[in-house]
C-alpha cells in the first residue's frame, strides 16, 4: 500500500542547498518511493539553537515503505551526509524529519507522527503550506509569523 509522506529537510553546515538536493535524490531512489513535489527553498534562523542560518524545504513522497522503515532510511541518508548528533539542536549537515505520513497518528519512543513540533516552526509550516495547504491551519501560521524565514527559490528541486 502506498502512502504520501511529507518530509522536512534542513541543513546549516557545508553546502546546505546541495545537501538538500542530494537528500531529495536519495529519497527518490528508495525502494518503492518517488518524489511527488518539492516546496521552495527557504532560509531560516536557528530555533532554540545557535549557528548559521538553515536552508529548509518540504518534500512530498509517495512510498510503500512503512513509517519506521522510512525513518530508518532517512537516518541512513542523514548519516551518509555526515550527520552527527553531539547534542540537542546542534548544527547539522542534514536533518530529515517525517512530518506527516498519510492519515497516520503514531506515538512511539522512536517516531511521533504528525511531527510534535510541526505547528511551532515557520521553517516547516511555510514550505508545507506551499505544497499541501490542506495540512496547515491558518492559526498555526499566525502563531509563527514573527519567526524569521525567507523564501529563496522554487528552482532547487526542478525536474521532479
Residue 107 among the catalytic residues: no
21 is catalytic: no
User: What DSSP assignment string belongs to 52-107?
Assistant: SPEEEEEEEEEE-S-HHHHHHHHHHHHHHTT---SSTT---S-EEEEEEETT--EE
Q: Of these residues, 21, 43, 97, 121, which one is catalytic? A: 97
121 is catalytic: no
Nearest CA among 96, 94, 133 for reference residue 111:
96
Dist. CA 74–CA 79, nearest whole Å: 9
Non-local (6+) Cβ contacts of 32 within 8 A are 2, 63, 64, 65
For residue 14, give every residue at least 6 positions away whose Cβ sits within 8 Å of its Cβ, in sequence order, or none.
82, 93
Out of 83, 103, 107, 117, pick the active-site residue. Answer: 83
Q: Is 85 a catalytic residue?
A: no
Exactly one of 95, 103, 121, 148 is catalytic; name it.
95
Catalytic residues: 83, 92, 95, 97
Amino acid at each position: 500500500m502506498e502512502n504520501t509522506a511529507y518530509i522536512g529537510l534542513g541543513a546549516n553546515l557545508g553546502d546546505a542547498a546541495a545537501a538538500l538536493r542530494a537528500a531529495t535524490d536519495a529519497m527518490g531512489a528508495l525502494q518503492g518511493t518517488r518524489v511527488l513535489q518539492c516546496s521552495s527553498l527557504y532560509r531560516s534562523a536557528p530555533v532554540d539553537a545557535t549557528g548559521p542560518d538553515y536552508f529548509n524545504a518540504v518534500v512530498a513522497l509517495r512510498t510503500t515503505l512503512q513509517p519506521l522503515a522510512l525513518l530508518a532510511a532517512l537516518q541512513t541518508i542523514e548519516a551518509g551526509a555526515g550527520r552527527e548528533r553531539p547534542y540537542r539542536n546542534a548544527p547539522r549537515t542534514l536533518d530529515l524529519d517525517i512530518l506527516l505520513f498519510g492519515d497516520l497518528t503514531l506515538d512511539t519512543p522512536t517516531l511521533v507522527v504528525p511531527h510534535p513540533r510541526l505547528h511551532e516552526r515557520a521553517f516547516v509550516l511555510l514550505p508545507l503550506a506551499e505544497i499541501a495547504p490542506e495540512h496547515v491551519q491558518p492559526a498555526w501560521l499566525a502563531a509563527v509569523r514573527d519567526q524569521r524565514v525567507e523564501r529563496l527559490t522554487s528552482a532547487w528541486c526542478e525536474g521532479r
